[in-house]
């Protein structure tokens, strides 16, 4: 269910645009002995690990999965400081998405070369278990792949255990001005199911789209939020906003648009793990089978970051 996976991680990244050293309040900073030279305020770490565990759910269609990430992060531009260069980094590591219907292991490389810009490239192996709507093959990309049709196919055991591949490139523009947070991301996916016949289509459960044997899927997501209280680097904050999503598959010509209200809350529990809760409640504005229906998705996120990775 990657359709609801990325928004949480991306928006949390946008919330941490402040310099990495800013999460330590000035009144708790260690006192430096007079005889010792003061270290520059912009000193950056030597590199460390980041771990993330993110269970998430989706309603209409039903979906449940867990996103797992481990990455070695190294700060960038050690000889530069300022609004554009503080908080920049590069990281690489394994990623995986696990659901009752599939397991997608992969590897990702992410960089923030300047604070407002995030770039990520990833490669995935798509492993479908043959249940809960995956993997179904259709005679053409114009076939009826409605929920009713897929429910019948699932009850008849027509799902197949298959392996596919995907590559993704993501670019995110993220800005923060006082309590206002804005970000827009563009993602281009290449997805392939080699065992599907040429000219046929297949239902990809993570994106909830009917795709051609080899397809390109483009998504554009835009978020505008307001921090009601707290600070992005602190143990507690509450953000409310709106989110628009647009989806388009190039070969199968499927499109989707959604508009949602966004809530993100860090309650201060498990502060070392940066425990955060998120919820989307909205509506399908344009969808092959769900136009006008409600859309609900949410997540719980636990994120560990070494001090030297800041």
Inform me whether the pLDDT recorded for 211 exceeds 90.
yes
The domain limits of the chain are 2-19+52-309
Region of 216 please: left (phi>0), alpha (psi -120 to 50) or beta. beta
Mean pLDDT of all residues belonging to the chain: 84
Percent pLDDT > 90 in the chain is 57
First-to-last C-alpha distance (Å) of the chain? 30
How far apart, in whole angstroms, are the C-alpha atoms of residue 264 and residue 11? 9
Q: Given 1.20.1250.20, 3.10.28.10, 2.40.160.40, 3.40.50.40, which CATH number is that of 2-19+52-309? A: 2.40.160.40
Most confident of 5-19, 47-61, 128-142: 47-61
Helices (H), 120-160: 147-155
Q: Which residue has the tokens 């990657």?
A: 2
Q: Which residues pair with 110 in a beta bridge?
A: 91, 120
For residues 195-200, give the mean pLDDT: 92
Q: Which residue has the tokens 């502060």?
A: 271
Q: Which residues pair with 96 in a beta bridge?
A: 68, 105
Region of 83 please: left (phi>0), alpha (psi -120 to 50) or beta. alpha
For residues 108-126, give the mean pLDDT: 95
How far apart, in whole angstroms, are the C-alpha atoms of residue 236 and residue 93? 28
Q: Which residues pair with 57 in a beta bridge?
A: 64, 298
| Confidence grade of residue 24 (pLDDT, cut at 50, 70, 90) | very low
CB 266 within 8 A of CB 237: yes
Inform me whether the pLDDT recorded for 253 exceeds 90.
yes
| Confidence grade of residue 30 (pLDDT, cut at 50, 70, 90) | very low
Between 133 and 95, name the one with better pLDDT. Answer: 95
How far apart, in whole angstroms, are the C-alpha atoms of residue 119 and residue 103? 24
CB 263 within 8 A of CB 248: no
In the chain, helix, strand, coil percent, each to 5? 10, 55, 35
CB 132 within 8 A of CB 150: no
- Work out whether strand 89-98 and strand 201-204 pair parallel, antiparallel, or are unpaired: unpaired
């Amino acid at each position: 269910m990657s359709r609801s996976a990325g928004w949480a991680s991306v928006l949390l990244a946008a919330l941490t645009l402040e310099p990495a050293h800013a999460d330590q309040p000035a009144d708790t900073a260690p006192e430096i002995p007079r005889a010792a030279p003061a270290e520059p305020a912009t000193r950056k770490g030597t590199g460390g690990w980041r771990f993330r565990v993110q269970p998430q759910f989706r309603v209409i269609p039903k979906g449940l999965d867990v996103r797992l990430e481990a990455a070695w992060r190294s700060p960038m531009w050690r000889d530069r400081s300022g609004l554009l260069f503080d908080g920049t980094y590069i990281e690489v590591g394994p990623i995986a998405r696990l659901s009752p219907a599939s397991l997608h292991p992969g590897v990702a490389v992410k960089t923030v070369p300047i604070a407002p810009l995030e770039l990520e490239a990833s490669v995935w192996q798509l492993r479908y278990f043959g249940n809960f709507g995956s993997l179904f093959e259709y005679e053409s990309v114009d076939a009826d792949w409605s929920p009713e049709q897929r429910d019948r196919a699932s009850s008849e055991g027509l799902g197949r255990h298959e392996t596919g591949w995907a590559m993704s490139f993501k670019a995110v523009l993220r800005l923060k001005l006082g309590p206002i947070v804005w970000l827009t991301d563009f993602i281009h996916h290449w997805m392939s199911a080699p065992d599907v016949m040429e000219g046929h289509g297949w239902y990809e459960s993570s994106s909830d789209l009917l795709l051609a044997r080899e397809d390109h899927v483009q998504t554009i997501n835009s978020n505008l939020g307001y921090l009601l209280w707290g600070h992005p680097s602190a143990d507690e904050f509450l953000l409310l906003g709106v989110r628009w999503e647009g989806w388009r598959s190039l070969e199968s010509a499927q499109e989707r648009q959604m508009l949602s209200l966004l809530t993100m809350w860090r309650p201060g529990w498990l502060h070392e793990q940066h425990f955060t809760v998120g919820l989307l409640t909205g509506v399908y504005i344009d969808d092959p089978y769900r136009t006008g229906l409600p859309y609900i998705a949410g997540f719980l996120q636990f994120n560990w970051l070494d001090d030297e990775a800041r």
